[in-house]
Each structure stands twice: as structure tokens, then as C-alpha cells.
Structure 1
Amino acid sequence: MSAPFASVLVIANPVSGTYLPVTAETVRRRFADAGHTVTLAVTEQPGHARKLAAEALAPGGPDIVVALGGDGTAHDVAAGLANTENSTPPQAARVPALLILPTGTGNSFYREIWADRPWREALELAVTETYFRAIDLARVAENGASALLGASTGVVAQSLITARDITDAGRERYEKAVAASLRAFTPYPGRVLVDGEVVQEGPTVFANVGGGRHRGGRFKLLPDSVMDDGLLDVCVVGTALPLHELPALSRDGGHVGREGVVYARGRSIVVERTDGHPLVFEYDGDVLETPGERFTLDVVPGALWVVAPSPKGWSGRPGAVPAHRGGPARVRSTRT
């Protein structure tokens, strides 16, 4: 059975949490054995993955770019491919599709696309039942950066700073960072607007905007979020919810619906601090070092093609889903 792609670029991050050279070779060999042209590129410095992905947009570039790493690698490759700084949709140009395979710490984006499938199974499906799906990104208005999983303020953003001093590996690192940040955290006076309407104002523990349902691999902060519905979800936690209950509740989205928790969605989300002090703000795990009291995130619908599991009932026949160069079918969800 032929597949709707011919060439593959594998971008491997050797410093991601669980990376092994044999993993990269396994991925390269599987695509090569299926008859595809494969190039393996190992990143050498921060920003290299984004540069390689951006270069893949040139004529004659690959049809699929594999990001072999964690959420940071996925963010960099997605940013290079999507180029949300202009508004040209991917349907209008030759844009490779992103296949994420996890060798990171949290691997939240892999979980969004492939759920709990082992990565070898995801690789096999990518080779034998190739399906392309267009997903949304968020654009940070203040600097033009794109967010794949989303952005946050408050204790969620603070935990990323705390994690810098924790030596544990894997998702346990984030768990410890969240616990430590909660013990020392003081809620900030905040306000959140959705499409220009205030949905929350007052003492704030965190506001999380996305994008992806999960952060840190384990915390389901946005349990109702769908990555291709043309909307951003936002969850704001105030002080009515006891802080010590938050980690356990957020594992399965149990914090939503509790007193002091606001959940909304829209096309443009504004998060701000109202006392004149700078807001701790991060997107896709990068804490913004430039001080600011207010940040705006706008949805960019269908900004990125990804290789994903095929919808139930899709036969996998060649041509059943057009290649991304011509515009693959877009899986959409309707919510009210």
C-alpha cells in the first residue's frame, strides 16, 4: 500500500529527557524500509530544531518532519513549520506535517495526539496508515510567538521556574515543582477576558490557556479542550478552591466545576495582573523574561498539520485522505 508522502526529516534532540541514539536510528530505519527518503538531523544547540523545521518549508523539502524529543522540541519544530507570524494558512502553501515521537520529560503534546499508545505503535501507524490532521495554535500578541500546548500564569508558570532547581527526571520533576510552588505561592490580583468580556476578576491562583488538555504530562488542566475547533479554552482558578487539593483534582480535570474555578472558551484570551506588578507568564514551558502586566493569546485556526491516528472507520486506502500538499481532511469537533 502506497502512502501519501515520499520524504521524511527526523529532527532528534539528544538532550531531551529519555533520548537514546538507537531510538533515532529505529525511526530512520522504519521509514527507509518503507521506501521513503529519510534524513536524520541531530540538534546541536537551542533553536536549532526550529531552524531545521523552517528550512523544511523550502521547495523540495520533506513531506513529514518527525520531532524526536519532548514538548520543547515539539514547540520549536511546530513554530518553524507553522510560521504564525504571517496569516497564510497551511492549505495555501507546501507545508510538511509534524509527527511527534516522545523522548522528553512531560511529553504532553504526544499524549494529546496519540493518547497512551506506545511510540512504536504510533510510528507504525504513521508509516502504514498515514493520516494528516490540521490543528490550531495560539499566537502571543505581544511577541508574535506561537504556542502549541498553551500558556499559563500564576502557580503553573511559577512551577516551571521552581523546576529549574529540581534534579529529578521525568514527570516526577514537574510534580515536585508544583508541590513546592504551591507551598510558597501567594495568589495575585488578576483579570481574564474572553473575546473582550471579563469572565474572572480577583485573587488568582492560575490561568491556563490552550490548546492542549495536559501540561507536565500528568495534569489535565483543560479537560474539555479540542485542538482543532478554532477556539482557545481557558481555566482560571481562584482562592475558593483549597490549594492543597489542586494537584490531585487536576490529574483528571476534577477541578473544573468546583467553587472558584472558571472555565470558558473563545478566539481571543487576555490574562492580566491588576496591581501594576509584572505577571509571571509562560507559553509551551518557556517563561517570558520580558516583564508585562497583560498578555493576549489569539487562536490561529488550522495552523499546523500533524500526523495523527486515522478516524474510526477510515480504511487507510491510498487517496482516501488527500496529501497535505493538496489539503487533507480536517477533523473538527463541535462544542457549545
Structure 2
Amino acid sequence: MRRSVTVLTNPAAGGGHAPGASAAAVARLRELGVTVTEIEGGSAAEALSLARAAVAEGTDALVAAGGDGLVSIAWQALAQTGIPLGIVPGGTGNDHARLFHVPVDDPVAAADIIAGGDVTTVDLARVGGDRWFGTVLSSGFDARVTDRANRMRWPTGPMRYNLAMLVELAQLKPIPYRIVLDDRTIELDATMVSVGNGTSYGGGMLITPDAKLDDGLLDVTVVGSGGRFRLVRLFPTVYKGTHVRLDEVQTFRTRTLRLETGVPVTSYADGEFVGRLPIDIEAVPGAGRVIAGPASGRAGQPPNT
């Protein structure tokens, strides 16, 4: 049983769902005798500053009560410190929660895991030397959809992303990529390139379905420039991870990776903006520790320690 934890909350996550999930989890933790310190940043920068201060002062765990964006902030404070991450899902996608077997709709059960669950050591990915992510980095079509959705004020919710996807499909053009892996360099026109430390993004889309959290490698999924019809055909299969069997999809494993393009392309990691390509990414073995729920045996599950 953990004695004390720090709970970081994002009041805007999940359309305002995060505060309720956080309150239920905090109440349960206190009921179990855990001392809880609550922190809340008014901006991403403030949240990161508070998280780093909490880690520096010492805590049994830093708990992210929100979505993957808040988990991303927590990783920046926790990577390579040895202090574990706890998760109370309260966002829209909650891919970290799925990855670490934390129930996405039961904050009380999430609190039980935080209080007494096993800590497991996992790999993290590092971008540009100082930015960490736990799930997937996207570039190309999916990143452009996120770019457009972020600029839109209407509609709200998931429909905004659906509309952004339709607009980007209408403007779809191949992207000239140069992909530098450990053992080879690939130059090709592609629709998108995704880099996975974990298996999923976007609320359960298994874009890198065979990624492992303890192999010291990144999984890379490259979707070729097959046109609109093939891309529309591909997306339903991503939820099952079977897209990797399609002819227009290539997969690779590598410890380090450099992505370059001949046109402006942005990238997102854990759903948060990273920057324009070119970027350098590396797998860092054992950089993260997580309080995980019982393993379900699916791909990417963290090892028990």
C-alpha cells in the first residue's frame, strides 16, 4: 500500500469529465489511508512546473487524473527518476490507461490500482533529446487531421475530427519521406508514418499493434501513398491492428529513427504537438515506471516486476 501520492488534474480533459473522475479517485485513496496532495495547473507549462516540483520533493507516485495529454506532462517530470506514474483516466482517448490495464470508466478501480498495484518498469521514447512519450508519435495524414481539427471552432467533440479527416482526404497528397533506421535508410512517398513505443493512439487505434514496452525498440508503421480509397479502407482495420497485413503498409523495428520530409509536416506524440520534421527519436529502455493493472495478455503489456 502506498503511503502518499500527488494527484495532477486537468479540469478541461474529457470535456470536463476529469474533475469528477479525480474527485472519486481521491476520495477512494483517502478512504484507503493514502495521503493525497492535489495539484492543478492553469496551463500546460504550470502543470509541468508543479509536477516537477512534486517529483523533486518526493512522492510515492505522481498520478495523472485526465487524458493522454496530462499523462504526457507527467512523463516529462517522471522519466528516468524512478518515481512511478499512476493513471486515473479522464480524457477522450485514454490510450495510456488501456496500455497499462487501468479501467477507463471506473475511477474507484483506478484508485485501487494506484494504492496497491504492482509497479512495472517500461521503455519510453525520447524526441530531440528532451521530449518523452509513452504511446505513439504520428506524422503525415493523421497529424494533418489533428492540425486542422485544432484550428476548427465548430463542430465540437469527435465530429470535429471526422470533419477534419474528410477535408484532409479531399486534399490528400503523397509526402516524400526519408526514414533513417538503425540498419537502413528508406526514401519513399507515403501517406503517414507512425512510431510506436506503445500500441495505440486516438482512443484504441492499434497503429503499431506489435509494439512491446520492454524490448528497447520502436515500432514503425509506414502507410504508402495509395490514394483516398485505400486510406478509407485502411482506417477500420486499424482498430484491430490488421492493417499491417495490407500491401500498402510496411513495418520496421529500430532503436533510433530520424524522420525527414521534403514538405512541411508536423508531428504529435501522445496526442500533443511536438514540432515539424525533421525529428530524431530513440527508445530509452527502462526510462519509465508505472503502476499497472493486472495484465490481460495483449500485445504491448508491461512486464511484471
Bin of the TM-score, shorter chain as denominator length: 0.7 to 0.9
Match in the other structure for 1:327: none
Q: In the alignment, does 2:270 pair up with 1:284? A: yes
Q: Secondary structure at the match of 1:17?
A: helix
Match in the other structure for 1:220: 206
How far 1:159 moved relative to its partner?
1.1
How far 1:13 moved relative to its partner?
0.4
Give CA-to-partner distance per residue, 1:272-314, whole Å, 9 cap, x none: 11x3x3332222223344x54x2211011111111101458xx
Alpha-carbon distance in 2 for matches of 1:239, 1:267: 25
Alpha-carbon distance in 1 for matches of 2:63, 2:285: 22
Which one is further off, 200-209 or 119-128?
Answer: 119-128
Q: Secondary structure at the match of 2:244?
A: coil
- With structure 2 as the length reference, what TM-score do the two structures score? 0.87
Structure 1: runs of 5 or more not aligned: 83-88, 313-329
- With structure 1 as the length reference, what TM-score do the two structures score? 0.80
Match in the other structure for 2:168: 181
Alpha-carbon distance in 1 for matches of 2:163, 2:100: 26
Match in the other structure for 2:254: 266
Give CA-to-partner distance per residue, 1:244-287, whole Å, 9 cap, x none: 212212221221021121111111122211x3x33322222233
Percent identity, please: 31
Match in the other structure for 1:309: 293
Give CA-to-partner distance per residue, 1:84-114, whole Å, 9 cap, x none: xxxxx44xxxx32111122112222212112
How far 1:158 moved relative to its partner?
0.5
How far 1:161 moved relative to its partner?
0.6
Q: In the alignment, does 2:219 pair up with 1:233? A: yes
Alpha-carbon distance in 2 for matches of 1:168, 1:134: 40
Alpha-carbon distance in 2 for matches of 1:108, 1:307: 15
Match in the other structure for 2:280: 296
* Residue pair 2:66, 2:91 contacting (<8 A) in 1 also: yes
> How many residue pairs end up in the alignment?
295
Larger proportion of helix: 2
Alpha-carbon distance in 1 for matches of 2:66, 2:6: 14
Out of 44, 47, 71, the residue aligned to residue 46 of structure 1 is 44
Alpha-carbon distance in 1 for matches of 2:137, 2:119: 25
Taking structure 1 as reference, are residues 148 and 271 closer, same or farther at Cα in structure 2, changes over 3 Å only? Answer: same
Match in the other structure for 1:106: 93
Out of 55, 61, 66, the residue aligned to residue 64 of structure 1 is 61
Alpha-carbon distance in 2 for matches of 1:115, 1:163: 28
* Residue pair 2:121, 2:303 contacting (<8 A) in 1 also: yes
Question: How do residues 1-336 of structure 1 correspond to structure 2 at under 5 angstroms?
Answer: 3=1, 5-20=2-17, 21-59=19-57, 61-82=58-79, 89-90=80-81, 95-114=82-101, 118-120=105-107, 122-127=109-114, 129-141=116-128, 144-164=130-150, 165=152, 167-198=154-185, 200-240=186-226, 242-273=230-261, 275=262, 277-289=263-275, 291-292=276-277, 294-311=278-295, 331=303
Taking structure 1 as reference, are residues 243 and 127 closer, same or farther at Cα in structure 2, changes over 3 Å only? Answer: closer
Alpha-carbon distance in 2 for matches of 1:278, 1:260: 23
Which one is further off, 201-210 or 143-152?
Answer: 143-152
AA partner of residue 331 (structure 1): P
* Residue pair 2:143, 2:266 contacting (<8 A) in 1 also: yes
Taking structure 1 as reference, are residues 101 and 14 closer, same or farther at Cα in structure 2, changes over 3 Å only? Answer: same
Match in the other structure for 2:299: none
How far 1:49 moved relative to its partner?
2.2
